[in-house]
Structure 1
Amino acid sequence: MTNFRNASTLLLGTFALLAAAGAASAQAKGEPDLFAFSEGARLVEYPDDVMISQMDSSPLNLIDGFVATDWTGQASPAPAFVLELPERTELSRISFDTSPLNRDAKAVKSVTVEVSDTSSTSGFETVAAVTLKRLKNNQSFSFDPEFLPVGRWVRLTVVDNYAGDEYSALTGFHGYGKQLTSVAKMPNVTGTYEGHSGWGEIHLTQQGNEVTGCYAYLNGRVTGVIKGRTMILTMIETGLDGSPIKHRAYFGMSANGKELIGIGRNTDPALGEGYFDFYAADRTGNRAGSCG
């Protein structure tokens, strides 16, 4: 931690020199995106001008792993997002996606990235200040191997956009490196929940790392597994014509074990990629019932 705190200026100086090398290695096989919601990263701070459940512009689109979806929000005051990573992490590089957008004018131009090993509100040190290219994905920037930032919280601040538009937009923010701990754990999910936005009552049962359950909407059934602090579910509903509708979803739970938050998508390839479904539910009991 001492090297990280004392090396901020050096990091910024060497960051640009290593950008080309980072871009060349951006598609390393088997390298997990440690900023992804599916990998346990959680947004703990974000601008309040866009509801997190509004999936056509949600801040969650920054970490959903798909370039087909974007966060769009007011450009002023400077939008800031804080990610909480599931583990203490040593970052080797970060990358950004800026395409596609429905209006090129809102493309983000400049951003800063800070890392904290203290908390989500303090201890942040600037580790990157970069200018992004318009409408280009996989813009990767590597850190100096001798001064890799370490922490659990990452703050992204959007400084400006290319056209001085009143809105800014970004399609992806990614982080790669090495997790230094292995302690992240999801509270036991067994229980009854009340889902928002028509999801209805949900019943989940956890045995080991496996999860089964059901929910009221369209006679839904779920199977899945727990990985770290993420629940990965296959959700199957019965359509009005009797045909199955299959979804893939990732869920996190609040630290107090009382609220589920998730993103999902229909797995039919014809409907395209991207997580267009937002799920939220409040735990109402610690025992799972049965669906009707």
Structure 2
Amino acid sequence: MTRFRKFSAALLGTVALLAGTGAAGAPSGAQPDLFSFSEGARLVQYPDDVMLSQMDSSPLNLIDGFVATDWTGRASPSPVFVLELPEQTELSRISFDTSPLNRDEKAVRSVTIEVSDTSSTSGFEMVAEVTLKRLKNNQSFSFDPEFLPVGRWVRLTVVDNHSGDDYSALTGFHGYGRQLTAVAKMPNVTGTYEGHSGWGKINLTQQGDQVTGCYAFLNGRVTGVIKGRTMILTMTETGLDGSPIKHRAYFGMSANGRQLIGIGRDTDPALGEGYFDFYAADRTSNRASGC
């Protein structure tokens, strides 16, 4: 049986607080953030008061790897998020970002963390109760090396915020450790997808782990690679002046292979590093058509 220890990360000396700042939740050069969307983590439960596509406050902003975007939602009832990781994972530490916010009053104060190796709805064991500082990034909490949590599902519950505000907000939730399996894979993505947000209709062709495709908006073209259950694409559009506009996007597929979900970001540093668009589409054919 996997061993867990219930503890208060704000009180016990076995938890190390390593606070810092930066554009992402993990310091530069650190190990991969296994909770990030780009690493294959998926939100399978989240509060229904904010849509995933509402990028100014989307729950996806917790795992987009960018500190300047935040999830904002009603503080009551207590917001609950469940992450499904692509692999069984042993966690060594977790980290949180609480800045910047457009209103400081909604900064999250207390959270609990549970881990399950059973399913997204059962088998959860409490592994941490954390009190966060206001407007501070890279608030990192290490687990006792003798009791490292192991599982595929992580449940984050927001208990309260610092001021009793009607809304709570958090800019980043990160996890670090090691993956114990290597079985995650994406269904073959070849097909036509009708988008109901983002780039509209898109056509994809997969050969091995390589992906090519096109979409009608600004004569868009895509190339990329599949890593585990994540598709990493370079999306190139033709601007009005004829110059190329490039984006990078990370896509995941629903378990039944029928829906494609992704987030895109600009690759030009002058345009910023934040995610600029959300994409969701239903597969309408298993064959790619022309654009």
Question: How would you bin the TM-score normalised by the shorter chain?
Answer: over 0.9
What is the match of residue 97 of structure 2? 97
Question: CA offsets, 1:49-81, max 9 Å, x none?
Answer: 001100010000000001010000010000000
Q: Identical aligned pairs, as a percentage?
A: 83
Matches within 5 A, 1:38-53: 38-53=38-53
What is the match of residue 279 of structure 2? 279
CA distance 1:144–1:22, change in 2 (3 Å): farther
What is the match of residue 56 of structure 1? 56
What is the match of residue 19 of structure 1? 15
Alpha-carbon distance in structure 1 between the residues aligned to 2:193 and 2:11: 46
Cα deviation for residue 3 of structure 1 reads: 2.3
Work out whether residues 10 and 130 of structure 2, in 8 Å CA contact, stay in contact via their aligned partners in 1: no
CA RMSD of aligned residues (A): 1.7
Question: Which stretches in structure 2 are left out of the alignment for 5+ residues?
Answer: 21-25
Alpha-carbon distance in structure 1 between the residues aligned to 2:138 and 2:9: 21
3-state SS in 1 of match to 2:3: helix
Question: CA offsets, 1:114-152, max 9 Å, x none?
Answer: 000110001111100010000000000000000000000
Matches within 5 A, 1:190-201: 190-197=190-197, 199-201=199-201
CA distance 1:13–1:21, change in 2 (3 Å): closer
Question: Which stretches in structure 1 are left out of the alignment for 5+ residues?
Answer: none
Cα deviation for residue 12 of structure 1 reads: 4.2
3-state SS in 2 of match to 1:57: coil
Cα deviation for residue 102 of structure 1 reads: 0.6
CA distance 1:2–1:198, change in 2 (3 Å): closer
The one-letter amino acid paired with 1:64 is: D
What is the match of residue 123 of structure 1? 123
Cα deviation for residue 199 of structure 1 reads: 2.4
Moved more, 219-228 or 235-244: 235-244
Q: Number of paired residues?
A: 286
The one-letter amino acid paired with 2:284 is: T
The one-letter amino acid paired with 1:29 is: G
Matches within 5 A, 1:1-292: 1-4=1-4, 8-9=5-6, 11-12=7-8, 16-20=12-16, 22-23=18-19, 27=27, 29-197=29-197, 199-291=199-291
Alpha-carbon distance in structure 1 between the residues aligned to 2:16 and 2:242: 53
With structure 1 as the length reference, what TM-score do the two structures score? 0.94
With structure 2 as the length reference, what TM-score do the two structures score? 0.94
Alpha-carbon distance in structure 2 between the residues aligned to 1:47 and 1:210: 35
Higher helix share: 1
Alpha-carbon distance in structure 1 between the residues aligned to 2:90 and 2:252: 22
3-state SS in 2 of match to 1:118: coil
